[in-house]
Amino acid sequence: MTAETTAARVVEFDDAGLETWCDEERFEVTSERIAEYAAATNDPIAAHRAGEVASPVFGIVPVFEAMMMPVIDVAPMDIFGRVVHGEQDFHFHRAIRPGDELVTRAKAVGYASKSNGSTITILIECRDEDGELVNEQYLTAFFRNIDAGKTVGQSAPAHKFDESLRGAEPFAVVPQHIDHDQTFRYAPASGDPVPLHLDEQVAKDAGLPGIIAHGLCTMAFASWAVLTEVAGSDVYRLRRFAVRFAKMVFPGDDLETRIWKVGAADGVTTYAFETVRGTDVVLSDGLAEIAD
């Protein structure tokens, strides 16, 4: 590496942009859209494939328009092109169903300067038309080689993998495969048209070997692995689902999601998980909370 690639650029973030809700976004949930998302993520759960109830990571679809708006309130526009999705943490109050009229708003709640870059934490609220919470989400936006100079406000709740779990065999291991056309199916199903996932030349111009899979698509793969292995394929039992996006995934990749049981309390069992490609961990710090 050169000094140019490792030196962090000092940038001033705008504290006034914190704790400011963006305009509300509305989304009508259809059975067809739920089924399309399930098919685009190779989800084997019948209720998801039939559009009867949404898979967990479908929760990103209704909030997609709102989720990045608060980043612009805090980070200067000239570094917006450097932002990547660092972590995602869903807290579920209930599952999304066909016919739901969902209302979403988002705000930045804090930022932090780290050794390899800076993060902005976004809190997203998704409610039904009666104002009842459907889910809350914490999105961590990461700016590589950007130094915000300080830490202000809140960070997302922790979900760090306990390395001592590696002393035991995983509770379950689920083999998975990213299809060569996965990104072309996922993009319309999710509403995420970013060219890095669809245009080989754009990806190569960005210094990548080729198009990359959507991180949230890989997260969706992990979600159905966890649900099928430890929750009886019942999305209604899922209370929390969180990951860190550790490495890029490519079409054609063979993956494994490995699941460990952590413990149980108050009617909820906690599991840790990670998704790997060979020796590379592509989703780390995975956490799932399942109602018994």
Look-up of token digits 């970013």: 194
Strands 146-147 and 172-177: unpaired
pLDDT value of residue 196: 85
Please say whether the beta carbons of 167 and 30 come within 8 A. no
More confident residue, 202 or 244: 244
Answer with the residue of higher pLDDT: 6 or 35. 35
Q: Kindly indicate the confidence band of residue 80, based on its pLDDT and cuts at 50, 70 and 90.
A: confident
Predicted local confidence at residue 137, as pLDDT: 98
| Whole-number pLDDT of residue 3 | 40
Res 81 pLDDT > 80: no
pLDDT, residue 6, reads 59
Higher pLDDT, 5 or 72: 72
- Alpha carbon of residue 221 to chain centroid: 11
DSSP conformational letter for 221? H
* Contact in structure between 70 and 17 (CB atoms under 8 Å): yes
Report the pLDDT value the prediction gives residue 205, as an integer from 0 to 100. 84
pLDDT classification of 271: cutoffs 50, 70, 90: very high
DSSP-derived pairing of the beta strands 146-147 and 9-10: parallel
pLDDT tens figures, 184-201? 999 999 998 888 898 999
Question: Residues of the chain with pLDDT > 90: what percent?
Answer: 87
Alpha-carbon distance of 230 to 268, in angstroms, equals: 12
pLDDT reading at 2 higher than 70: no
Task: Tell me what percent of the residues of the chain surpass a pLDDT of 70.
Answer: 98
Give the integer Cα–Cα distance in Å for 141 and 88.
9
pLDDT at 39: 98
Q: Convert the pLDDT of each residue in 103-157 to its tens digit.
A: 999 999 999 998 889 999 999 999 999 999 999 999 999 998 899 999 999 999 9
Spatial separation of the C-alpha atoms in residues 183 and 251, rounded to whole Å: 8
Q: Give residue 203's pLDDT.
A: 86
In whole angstroms, give the CA distance from residue 221 to residue 218: 5
- 3-state SS, residue 216: helix
- Output DSSP code: residue 51: T
